[in-house]
Structure 1
Amino acid sequence: MTHATAVKSVSADAAAQEYLVFRLGQEQYGIEILKVQEIRGCDRVTRIPNAHDFITGVTNLRGVIVPIVDLRVRFQLPVVENDENTVVIVLNLNDRVVGIVVDGVVDVLSLEPEQVKPTPDVASVLSSRYLLGLGVIDSRMIILVNIEKLLSREEMALMDSLTESYAE
């Protein structure tokens, strides 16, 4: 391998992005793996009165109060009963810890930039601000979610106040 080839392969590896792929209904979604702190079963969640409908409550994760967001509700999908595959993906978003409820984790994928296609310009429940693009591998398509944009500043501030009030 020549030096130029070695440099090219290193830079190509650096361009690949890893995503945790999860399922909601029949669709598969991906979030940047670096945002994922851990994956847990659906623990007991304390419901919060008057919270947004997509905030199912908070849980205590080793002394940290973590707000839990149900992505089915957030994405306006039909709500289904949790089953043995339902998990909470604990995320670290801009120094905030948030859990998201999903129907199950599928796998971890590494996508090259050419495998990420722009989202089609269609009216969608998922605002284009939430989406990074579509990951395409063979005949499989994964909706890549910009998880940090999923919650507005106001919603994040509300979750901060919820966690602070329950931490006291």
Structure 2
Amino acid sequence: MDTLSKFIVFQLNDQEYGADIQQVLSIEKLQDVVQLPQTPDFIKGVINLRGSITPILDLKQRLHMEEATYTDQTRVLIASMNNVQVGLIVDVATDVIDIDESVVEPAPDIAGGVSSVYLKGVAKLENRLLLLLDLERVLSFEELNEVKQAVEEN
């Protein structure tokens, strides 16, 4: 029997991506972000999410796409990366779907302009391709520590 996994579907520049639901704690509306000095461009700042200071990253900038324009549809995926809670800004979060691992193929070196370093694979669904992002790989260990330090210092 094939294995099904649940994925949250979101968009960046009209391309659909999926993130394993086990890596996503919640989906939030974008709120006012307090900027932090001397941090990489893709770190937009922090928010107070239910009493927890959460760093916010622009996922498009992190994946070397053009800078995002935020709209009412913009969402923040709250994820746990190596026990650090971070928010990832996406254009829109659209769906939660089950994906059978039999339809997932290894990611090509570059897919949708995104390096395969960040991808778990590509899901070939009936009428669309879904790039499956591995949220644990979005930040390197050093970058994650940089994010933690920026939050602790401010």
TM-score computed with the length of structure 1 as normaliser: 0.86
Q: Which moved more, 1:89-98 or 1:23-32?
A: 89-98
Uncovered stretches (5+) of structure 1, i.e. residues with no partner = 1-7
* Partner amino acid, structure 1, of 2:36: I
> Distance in 1 between the 2:46 and 2:67 partners?
19
> Distance in 2 between the 1:124 and 1:23 partners?
12
Q: 1:120 to 1:87 in 2, by over 3 A?
A: same
Runs of 4+ in 1 over 3 A off after TM superposition: 121-125
Uncovered stretches (5+) of structure 2, i.e. residues with no partner = none
Maintained 8 Å contact 2:6/2:98: yes
Maintained 8 Å contact 2:77/2:89: yes
CA RMSD of aligned residues (A): 1.6
Q: Percent identity?
A: 34
From the CA coordinates, give the structure whose radius of gyration is larger. Answer: 1
* Equivalent of residue 143 in structure 1, options 122, 125, 131: 131
> Distance in 2 between the 1:124 and 1:102 partners?
15
- Total equivalences in the alignment: 154
1:126 alignment counterpart: 114
| CA deviations over 1:46-69 (Å, ceiling 9, x no partner) | 111111010001111122111101
2:10 aligned with 1:19: no
| CA deviations over 1:82-124 (Å, ceiling 9, x no partner) | 1110011111222210000000011011111111011124587
**Between Structure 1 and Structure 2, which shows a larger proportion of helix residues?**
1
1:4 alignment counterpart: none
* Partner amino acid, structure 2, of 1:99: G
Q: With a CA cutoff of 8 Å and minimum separation of 6, indicate the structure with the bigger relative contact order.
A: 2
